[in-house]
Structure 1
Amino acid sequence: MIRWILTLFSALLIFCVAEPVMAQAQTPDLTKAQIQQVNDLRQKAFTATDLGNFIAAEDYWTQLIELLPESPVGWSNRGNTRVSQYKLAEAIADYNKSIELAPEATDPYLNRGAAYEGQQRWEDAIADYKRVLEIDPKDAMAYNNLGNAQAGQGKWEEALANYQKAAELVPSFAFARANYALTLYQTGQREDAIRQMRNIIRKYPQFPDVRAAITAALWTEGKKGEAESNWVAAIGLDKRYQDLDWVKNIRRWPPAMVESLEKFLTLN
């Protein structure tokens, strides 16, 4: 299960929203030829997704749905490809069908919640993440995504608690730790935020989100040399952090963090 690579909006569900989780499939009683056809289509769908060809992946999942209309997997995975094309309403319809077929599976709720976030339907997203936690109280991704939706509402303290819970459940969940650090910064705990960022970079030196964030934080603190060094690393890994609109509206950094980055970019 691909749980820790976030792909929402062709990019992320990086760090903020949850990745659409790519489900695996079970095949019912089929002929050998039909099983081969299903396996071939599924492999093509995953390969197209890995290559970022979401239009082709959507077509492959549509063909699989035609072959296996009662399988929740095809519906959920087609929803993922539609989210990656920002076809949110269509994706939500697919997740609805997947949930109808498998109401106790957690992945479609996580993915639908991420799509709701894309529509800024925060309460709907929160309801889905809480449903996941009813099914699996130790689902770290649900806690992280719950924090994202609460951050969308400006409920920073609640978001902070859920990011912390996600990181406690899975200490290697770097995205949750990053969200926690950025939210500390938003709530005025800037020294602690920078300390958390340094710890993350020490363990994950190729993490562009935190490299960019600590750039902004250090620049605001007057530590210009260290800030610029981290910036070189950040944009070497991911140039999107030069785009404030992307940082604000897709990555969805907290406002205080965006403001600090804007100061750095303006003066540079």
Structure 2
Amino acid sequence: MVYVDQAKYDAALLDYQRAVERRPGDVQPFWVDYALTLFQRGRDTDAFGIMRRVASKPSFAQSDDVKAAFAVILYDRGMLSDAEGLWGALERPRRFQDENFLRNERRWPPRAVEVALRYHPPQLRRATPST
């Protein structure tokens, strides 16, 4: 995660790949970060494959983080119906429309943040007229 925070995506990918190669059948939560880092580096097919594996695990399938990250990759691939299905299943979708949350709390790479905000921009709050 340190490499991602420093925008050293290739170094981060090497670390993720080594960890996955040690236990390739043992899907872990960090695989979402691995997929988003692949996505950042333009390795969209690899990112899609990793996210499909993560989302297929019952222990991860209901996670908002998994659904939102996979939806972003699907949106970018033009798979809008599938992406909307995942996005619609989020328990707290507004969190994933908040740039600060995505960048600073979830630490998503820039490309994932941009896609998320392009398809689901933050909703403007309506001003309440004063009486």
Corresponding letter in the other structure for 1:228: E
Question: Which residue, out of 82, 85, 95, partners 1:229?
Answer: 85
1:139-218 alignment, distance < 5 Å: 148-170=1-23, 171-203=25-57, 204-218=60-74
Deviations 1:107-153 (A, max 9, x none): xxxxxxxxxxxxxxxxxxxxxxxxxxxxxxxxxxxxxxxxx101111
Q: Confirm or deny: 8 A CA contact 2:97 2:121 kept in the other structure.
A: no
Corresponding letter in the other structure for 2:63: F
Q: Confirm or deny: 8 A CA contact 2:97 2:117 kept in the other structure.
A: no
Q: Confirm or deny: 8 A CA contact 2:97 2:116 kept in the other structure.
A: no
Give, in angstroms, the shift of residue 238 of structure 1.
6.6
After the TM superposition, which segments of 4 or more aligned residues of structure 1 sit over 4 Å from their partners? Answer: none
Q: Confirm or deny: 8 A CA contact 1:219 1:227 kept in the other structure.
A: yes
Structure with the bigger RCO (C-alpha within 8 Å, sep 6+) is 2
Give, in angstroms, the shift of residue 267 of structure 1.
9.4
Alpha-carbon separation, structure 1, partners of 2:64 and 2:22:
23
Deviations 1:174-219 (A, max 9, x none): 2221111111100001122112111110113113222101212222
Query: Structure 1: which 5+ residue stretches go unaligned?
Result: 1-147
Give, in angstroms, the shift of residue 257 of structure 1.
0.8
Q: Confirm or deny: 8 A CA contact 1:167 1:176 kept in the other structure.
A: no
1:24-43 alignment, distance < 5 Å: none
Alpha-carbon separation, structure 1, partners of 2:97 and 2:111:
17
Number of aligned positions between the proteins: 120
Alpha-carbon separation, structure 2, partners of 1:220 and 1:202:
20
Question: Which residue, out of 82, 97, 111, partners 1:242?
Answer: 97
Deviations 1:8-35 (A, max 9, x none): xxxxxxxxxxxxxxxxxxxxxxxxxxxx
Q: Confirm or deny: 8 A CA contact 2:35 2:51 kept in the other structure.
A: yes
Query: Structure 2: which 5+ residue stretches go unaligned?
Result: 124-131
The answer to whether 1:259 aligns with 2:114 is yes
User: When the two structures are superposed, what TM-score results if normalisation uses the length of structure 1?
Assistant: 0.41
Larger-Rg structure: 1
Alpha-carbon separation, structure 2, partners of 1:189 and 1:227:
19
Corresponding letter in the other structure for 2:3: Q
Q: Percent identity?
A: 35
Q: Confirm or deny: 8 A CA contact 1:166 1:176 kept in the other structure.
A: no
Q: Confirm or deny: 8 A CA contact 1:194 1:214 kept in the other structure.
A: yes
Give, in angstroms, the shift of residue 158 of structure 1.
0.8
User: When the two structures are superposed, what TM-score results if normalisation uses the length of structure 2?
Assistant: 0.80
Q: What secondary structure does 1:236 align onto?
A: coil
1:22-101 alignment, distance < 5 Å: none
